Structure formats: structure tokens, C-alpha cells
Amino acid sequence: MDKVAAEFAKIAGVPKSIKLRVYYDEALQRITKTKYDPIIMSEGALFVYLLQNVFVEHPEIEKKYPPGKLGFIINDITLPKPHTPLFNGDVIKMNAAC
């Protein structure tokens, strides 16, 4: 993942990348088969774009949990809105226990 980000950074006009981690609760881990996903996005990315990426990677989550049935928190303090900006190193926790 770091190699890919470094290569993109060399290309003129490509936005700087940020690295995030999305952690899943036990219910979501049964779907994702992983405790967390490392994700690379463009600097200035919004929470809604991250959510879209998660749903593309794990479409079963969106099918099983309709809007309002998932909970999210960024860096253990921020309850995100769709337009919440993301920053390098952010940790997003996603849970189905809502």
C-alpha cells in the first residue's frame, strides 16, 4: 500500500494521499473477514467517499444494514457527518450494534 501511494505521489497533478484505517465490530468482521481495512484516499476526501469505498469493497454490509443501522466514530471522538473531512492517520470505527 505504501509503495502505491509513493508512486502516485510522483505523478504531477495527482493529489497527495492519506492513509486511514477502518475497524469493524464483531458483526461486521463476520462479513469482511478482517478486523480492519487499510485505505488510501486523496487528501481532502470526505467521510461519504470513505463509506462508499467500504460498500464497494464489502457490498454485503450495505445489503444487510440499511441507512441508520450502522454507527461510526472517527478517532474515538468525532461522530461523522457525510461532509466530515478525513485526515492522514484517521481511525474510523464502524459498528452494527446501533
Please list the pLDDT of the chain residue by residue as tens digits (98 residues).
566 656 655 666 767 889 999 999 999 999 999 999 999 999 989 999 999 999 999 999 999 998 889 999 999 998 999 999 999 999 999 999 75
Q: Please state the domain count of the chain.
A: 1
What is the domain extent for residue 58?
A: 18-95
Q: 58 in a domain, yes or no?
A: yes
Q: 41 in a domain, yes or no?
A: yes
Q: 11 in a domain, yes or no?
A: no
Q: 5 in a domain, yes or no?
A: no
Q: 76 in a domain, yes or no?
A: yes
Q: 7 in a domain, yes or no?
A: no
* String of DSSP letters for the chain: -HHHHHHHHTSTTPPPEEEEEEEE-HHHHHHHSSSEEEEEEETT-BHHHHHHHHHHH-HHHHHHS-TTS-EEEETTTB---TT-B--TT-EEEEES--
Q: 9 in a domain, yes or no?
A: no
**What CATH number does residue 52 fall under?**
3.10.20.30
Task: Give the predicted TM-score (pTM) of the model.
Answer: 0.84
